[in-house]
Amino acid sequence: MAIEFERFLQRVRAERGGFFDRDRSITVVRAPGWVDLCGGVVAETGIHTLLWPTGGGVLVALQPDPEPVIRIRVWQRTESIPCTALFLSSGPHEYADAVSEIDRHRPPRSSWWGPALMAWVALMREEFVRFGGGARLLLHPLAGEASAATVIAAVAQALVTAYNVHLAPRELAITCAEGLYHLDSRGLELIGTLTTVCAPANEVLVVQPHQALIGGNVHLPPGCAIWTIRVGDEPRQPPFRLRSALTLAERLVAELVTAVDLPQGQEGAILASLRLTDFIRYLRDRLPAHTSVTTGATTEQMTPSALTSFVLAEQQRSRLILALLRAAASRLQREEDVHLIGELLTQSHWEQAALGLIDPHAQALAERLVASTILGVRQPVAATQATLVVLGRNDAEGDIQRITAEYQSLIGLPVRIVGGSLAGVSLAGARQV
């Protein structure tokens, strides 16, 4: 990973007098990828979510430019957009207008385009930052396509560094998430931006998404590691019907909670405030087993009772995994604890599958990734762009590579494995070149 960064610095220096101006300073930032270990698929309900900053991610080099044009180079392709599409001297455009302009100038097959440009818009609208001109941005995704949260975090950190803007890490993450929400309100990016901005390397970040609160971080047990696997090059698409189903489940549960006189949680987090025991005892049999959910022109059958049970079980799993991670410092108990963590992760995966929320490649790989060195597997949130997250022993990579190579030859699509962990951009900081 350090070698990749040094190679990128060499490329940035080589671009002086070419893509970059020879005399002005260049800000270089590396943002990690991210993955949710537990809770993320239903994080919108407010449940505790455990997050991991991965290797891979994205490298960016940014140089302010007096010309009012933003030029972005990815690989050997350079695209540009006039600053007036995003902001005027009097201030930024409304989000909707900026998004329309971003889409109008969008080059083909460029998922990085919107998140990168929304860094400018979000910083201007949320934090009143002003930019005196345009910029030249060199963007280098690593290990395949970077997530939207990774791209916007890297560009935003480069901007605040280059323009000497002082912004707390949590505020930067929230600002980035706000920009991504306006770019595509169907996704859930707050947990991603909190990870890519705030997470320490090699530690599990604990987040309460409903209030954007970070509840600390904890190390993996010694001898354990995490890998992410990505199948193919196309972005994973989130199951959009899930949001409608969760909204319906929360409404039904809120009505029942009042009827049976159970404690009500804060507004918008009724499921996160409900105990699994109370749900099983008082509410499970009162929720409909099946109901219709309409998303756009499509109507699908969902199971409010099973979905609510999954949300509450996921919250309980998150708390159990966190407790086990904290307890695993004891060598006597560690072996049993790490096996139980792996079991909980795999349990979450197959509960997603039972609800019809699973990616076919994630399901096929989860069935194949069986070895003594592999402790657990789970499908993460689609926004991470990872197909599967794997918890294993430090020496598990050989088994993972063997199994994924067999799967790659079977399906004819690239399968990428990313290991390691990098600090979020607020901790890693930026380099001036």
- How far CA 103 is from CA of 70, 109, 140, in Å, comes to 15, 12, 21
Percent of the chain at pLDDT above 70? 93
Q: Is 185 exposed, middle or buried (0-12, 13-18, 19+ CB in 10 A)?
A: exposed
Using the predicted structure, report yes or no on whether residue 10 has a pLDDT greater than 70: yes
Tokens of 236: 């994973």
Highest mean pLDDT of the ranges 100-104, 184-188, 281-285: 100-104
**69-74 and 134-141: which strand pairing?**
parallel
Residues 193, 157 contacting (CB under 8 angstroms): no
Q: What confidence tier does 248 reach under pLDDT thresholds 50, 70, 90?
A: confident
Asked if pLDDT for residue 203 goes beyond 70, the answer is yes
Residues 6+ apart with CB under 8 A from 71: 19, 65, 78, 79, 80, 134, 135, 136, 137
The reply to whether 241-418 shares the fold of 2-218+422-432 is no
Segments making up each domain of the chain, as ranges: 2-218+422-432, 241-418
pLDDT at residue 188, rounded to an integer? 66
Distance (Å, whole) CA 85 – CA 323: 49
Crossing angle, helix 113-127 and helix 95-105, to 10 degrees?
160
Question: CA 216, 32, 237, 267: dihedral to nearest 10 degrees?
Answer: 20
pLDDT of residue 296: 60
- pLDDT confidence band for 109 (50 / 70 / 90): confident
Residue pair 106/113 in contact by the 8 Å Cβ criterion: yes
**The pLDDT of residue 44:** 87
Backbone φ and ψ for 371, nearest 5 degrees, come out as -165, 160
Instruction: State the pLDDT confidence band at 263, using cuts at 50, 70 and 90.
Output: low
- pLDDT tens, position by position, 323-368: 999 887 666 778 889 999 999 999 999 999 999 898 999 999 999 9
- How confident is the model over 42-53, as pLDDT tens digits? 998 889 999 999
Q: Is the pLDDT of residue 90 over 90?
A: no
pTM beyond 0.85: the answer is yes
Distance separating alpha carbons of residues 424 and 194, to the nearest angstrom: 8
* Other beta carbons less than 10 A from residue 127's beta carbon: 16
Per CATH, the homologous superfamily of domain 241-418 is GHMP kinase, C-terminal domain (3.30.70.890)
Of 98 and 252, more confident = 98
Mean of the pLDDT values across residues 288-300?
67
How far CA 105 is from CA of 69, 82, 139, in Å, comes to: 12, 9, 18
Q: For residue range 326-337, what is the model confidence (pLDDT) as tens digits?
A: 887 666 778 889
Express each pLDDT in 117-152 by its tens digit. Answer: 999 999 999 999 999 899 999 999 987 668 999 999
Is 3.30.230.10 the CATH classification of the domain at 2-218+422-432?
Answer: yes
Q: Where are the alpha helices (DSSP H) in 199-330?
A: 241-259, 276-278, 304-327
